[in-house]
């Protein structure tokens, strides 16, 4: 019979297994214990990492190696919800773990005596102590539920809504062609940043390997003055041209808005779809442009351009840009811009600030400003490396800069739609760095 400590630590491993199931991974979890203390936890991440070696046990081995700064684990006990496979059992033997405690036995493919006895093989130089069957029924119930749900999903009719809330190579391979077809570019630059986290959900209609339509959802915590507001932003609304008119976008939007009926929502749209979104309860809202009539000419300043990789640490340390409208969790969207449309226009301002700006004639458009410290307009202005500027536009409300500005109607194809109780300042604007 398992002792109280084994039951306690296996329950923690089961929590990891449940996290795996929620991420659409085979629900196997593991924890590592040293002298009665949990030093690392892990779960199965095969689909997420697109790697056959991303089993829970191997993920845990890597975490323990980082914790101990050593590959030898003679005092470490591994708790795993299912009997390790031969690959993982061999790795645990090579790591010289003290003890392996597992939940559900695997009589066909287990590596601890179930299918093969890797841990007990006489030719091994190290033989960990093995205890099996701890909370086996709990682990088995979780696995059976997972595979039963998977079979039910396979039975759903063709064209069911597919939901993806973590980065997946197979999903990316389906999505990029649709994005290229509809918007003229893929999202590959953003996928490479690793910014797709649980803030992002994608809803799609699939036909085998083809993506017919998609709508993205971003969960954001907006900062509106002194108030925090949970909201969603819809983005990437795309339908393949050959299936337009079949109602796929309407079906996806209706599903999302029913799911988040009580959550305020907003989106940006071009001039061609002004009549579409009001059908779903969205209302068009004034989205004005902040403008400062400031003239300057800095012929002696040599521009110090930054690459997105060089600017990223500054972006990750950004301070709040505006007291009017900002977001406390907008970094993933800002990374989309940093590695995309911002990339050719990033300039260093000293050692700890960066500005994203582009000049067109005598107009300077400042899209973003970020870094480790705040700066006022009088300090920033002499450091802007541009010539013959007479007008400055801002991609955010520049109230924290202390610059004198006024509001103008936008001349670009950007229309803001809101739904629900989203009390944006009026006049005002949502920062360009939050536009997705």
Judge contact between 3 and 35, C-beta under 8 A.
no
Q: How many residues does the chain have?
A: 436
Q: Comparing C-alpha atoms, which of 44, 47, 53 is closest to residue 13?
A: 44
Cβ burial of 396 (10 Å; 0-12, 13-18, 19+) is buried
Q: Comparing C-alpha atoms, which of 80, 88, 102, 9 is closest to residue 54?
A: 88
Judge contact between 173 and 206, C-beta under 8 A.
no
Scanning 222-267, the segments in alpha helix (DSSP H) are: 248-259
Residues 44 and 24: their CA atoms lie apart, in Å, by 10
Cβ-based neighbour number of residue 367 at 10 Å: 20
Q: Comparing C-alpha atoms, which of 355, 361, 412 is closest to residue 384?
A: 355
DSSP state of 398: G
Residues 252 and 217: their CA atoms lie apart, in Å, by 11
Residues 361 and 366: their CA atoms lie apart, in Å, by 14
Q: Say which of 16, 25, 47, 57 is annotated catalytic.
A: 57
CA 386 → CA 293, 337, 382, 391, 409, distances in Å?
Answer: 15, 22, 10, 12, 25
Local structure of 19: helix, strand or coil? helix
Tell whether the torsion through CA atoms of 330, 335, 340 and 345 is positive or negative.
positive
* 57 in catalytic set: yes
Residues 127 and 10: their CA atoms lie apart, in Å, by 21
Query: Which H/E stretch holds residue 223?
Result: strand 210-224
State both tokens at 18: 């449940």
Local structure of 347: helix, strand or coil? strand
State both tokens at 209: 């390997």
Write out the catalytic residue numbers.
57
């Amino acid at each position: 019979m398992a002792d109280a400590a084994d039951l306690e630590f296996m329950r923690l491993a089961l929590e990891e297994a449940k996290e795996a199931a929620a991420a659409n991974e085979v629900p196997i979890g593991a924890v590592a214990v040293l002298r009665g203390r949990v030093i690392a936890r892990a779960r199965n991440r095969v689909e997420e990492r697109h790697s056959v070696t991303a089993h829970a046990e191997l993920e845990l081995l890597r975490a323990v190696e980082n914790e101990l700064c050593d590959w030898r684990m003679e005092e470490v006990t591994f708790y795993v919800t299912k009997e390790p496979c031969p690959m993982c059992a061999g790795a645990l033997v090579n790591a010289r773990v003290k003890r392996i405690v597992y939940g559900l036995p695997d009589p066909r493919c287990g590596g601890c005596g179930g299918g093969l006895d890797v841990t007990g093989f006489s030719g091994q130089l190290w033989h960990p102590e093995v205890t099996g069957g701890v909370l086996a029924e709990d682990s088995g119930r979780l696995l059976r539920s997972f595979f039963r749900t998977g079979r039910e999903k396979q039975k759903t009719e063709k064209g069911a809504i597919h939901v993806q809330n973590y980065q997946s190579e197979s999903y990316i391979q389906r999505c990029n062609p649709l994005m290229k077809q509809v918007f003229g570019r893929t999202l590959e630059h953003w996928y490479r940043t690793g910014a797709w986290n649980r803030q992002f959900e994608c809803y799609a209609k699939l036909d085998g390997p083809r993506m017919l339509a998609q709508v993205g959802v971003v969960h954001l915590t907006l900062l509106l003055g002194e108030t925090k507001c949970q909201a969603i932003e819809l983005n990437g609304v795309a339908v393949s041209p050959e299936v337009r008119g079949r109602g796929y976008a309407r079906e996806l939007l209706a599903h999302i808005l029913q799911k988040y009926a009580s959550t305020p929502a907003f989106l940006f749209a071009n001039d061609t779809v002004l009549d579409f979104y009001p059908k779903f309860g969205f209302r068009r809202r004034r989205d004005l442009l902040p403008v400062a009539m400031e003239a300057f000419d800095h012929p002696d300043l040599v521009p110090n351009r930054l690459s997105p990789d060089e600017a990223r640490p500054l972006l990750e340390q950004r301070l709040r840009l505006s007291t009017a409208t900002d977001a406390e969790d907008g970094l993933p969207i800002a990374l989309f811009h940093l590695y995309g449309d911002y990339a050719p226009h990033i300039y260093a301002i000293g050692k700890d600030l960066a500005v994203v700006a582009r000049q067109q004639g005598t107009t300077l458009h400042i899209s973003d400003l970020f870094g480790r410290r705040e700066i006022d307009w009088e300090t920033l202005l002499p450091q802007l490396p541009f010539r013959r500027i007479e007008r400055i536009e801002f991609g955010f409300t520049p109230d924290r800069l202390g610059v004198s500005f006024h509001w103008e109607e936008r001349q670009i194809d950007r229309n803001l739609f809101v739904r629900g109780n989203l009390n944006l300042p009026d006049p005002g604007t949502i920062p360009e760095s939050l536009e997705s």
